[in-house]
Structure 1
Amino acid sequence: MHIERHSLAKELPEFKDKIHELKMKDRHFARLFDDYHNLDHEVIRIEEGVENTSDEYLDSLKKQRLHLKDQLYAILKSA
């Protein structure tokens, strides 16, 4: 089974340069970016079967990841 990664640069390619710039200059953005990356990594590990959890837990992680992506997108749009 192929597990799709949801890196922010892949999800929002039009903001690739801005993502890099904000990661270097904006501590809040960098923290949210790290949180997003860590959640994405955890979701992938669960989907690959490396870790076993309940479906409810996996769904909650995916919702958190989406919420972080929305926050990051809002910052990118306003930057």
Structure 2
Amino acid sequence: MSHTPHALVEEFPEHSDRIHALRESNAHFRKLSDAYHDANRAVHRAETNVEPTDSLHETELRKQRMRMKDEISAILNQN
């Protein structure tokens, strides 16, 4: 278990410029990246016991974050 937040620009450093551009130009991507940030923050806060939760809920938060990350990756890798 990692206690390090998974910010999008850290997860996809090769797409840093594209992430910023898409956040400015694509409302769906902006909403998705904001939702990813919120889920990521919730996972991090659960992992560090800032906001303790049960393991089932923490696992669901991680799955939610992973689904969003997969969708973000697909968008970033489109030509």
1:22 aligned partner:
22
Q: Deviations over 1:11-62 (max 9, x none)?
A: 1100000000000000000000000000001111111111121101000000
TM-score by length of 1: 0.94
Over the aligned positions, Cα root-mean-square deviation in angstroms equals: 1.1
2:61 aligned partner:
61
Aligned residues: 78
Once residues 22 and 71 of structure 1 are traced to their aligned partners in structure 2, the CA distance between those partners, rounded to angstroms, is 14
Aligned partner of residue 78 in structure 1, secondary structure: coil
1:4 Cα deviation after fit = 1.0
Q: Structure 1: any 5+ residue segments left out of the alignment?
A: none
TM-score by length of 2: 0.94
Q: Structure 2: any 5+ residue segments left out of the alignment?
A: none
- Report the identity percentage: 38
